[in-house]
Amino acid sequence: MNTFLSSLRLRVILIALIALLPAWAMMLFSISRQRAIIESDVMKESLRTAELAASNEEQAIEGIRQVLTILDIFFHTNLMTPRECSGFLKQVAGKFGHYANLGAVNRRGDVLCSAHPEQDTLNVADSPWFQRAIQSKQSAAGDYQIARVTAKPVLMVARPGISFEDRVQTVLFAAIDLE
């Protein structure tokens, strides 16, 4: 009598499968746990990288504010024509590769001079960075934007030039090249 369930071969295979079942379960549990640990490590490393990038960006923006402060002092102590001003800013921007543009704007938003003189006819009164600098009378950063003349992605940083009467006379700006 040779039935399918009474076969010795089948019984041995079933016993072996039943004996291996706990080992497979442990292996699947271990793989699942290792995956969770790896995902957690990747998330932690991503967070550390993002924090480092934010810290570097904050330091870069602080450096740009310092450059704008120096330019503000320079502009208020040296009377220059718009052409001379644009030439000077072009030289400064050329020394530092991360500036897409540098410039000065009057309190109405008209560009007085810039490292890209073709921008000298623009009005930036509608720009968030300009409005923030005028309203707060402090350095201000804009949002990510595409530059009007260069068509490059930039981050705008502005610093108002305050008169002795506590009025904004000019706004100096730096367009940081994000490429």
Q: What total of structural domains would you count in the chain?
A: 1
Q: Whole domain around residue 145: which residue ranges?
A: 51-177
Judge whether 148 lies within some domain: yes
- Look at residue 24 and tell me if it is in a domain: no
Instruction: Judge whether residue 120 has pLDDT over 60.
Output: no
Asked whether the predicted pLDDT for residue 1 surpasses 60, the reply is no
Whether the Cβ atoms of residue 113 and residue 121 lie closer than 8 Å to each other:
no
Q: How many CA atoms lie within 13 A of 87 on its CB side?
A: 5
| Model pLDDT for residues 8-34, shown as the tens digit of each residue | 788 888 888 888 888 888 998 998 899
Domain harbouring 160, CATH code = 3.30.450.20
C-alpha distances in angstroms, 122 versus 100, 103, 114, 117, 126?
16, 11, 10, 10, 11
Kindly indicate the confidence band of residue 143, based on its pLDDT and cuts at 50, 70 and 90: confident
- Prediction pTM value: 0.67
Amino acid (one-letter) located at 97: G
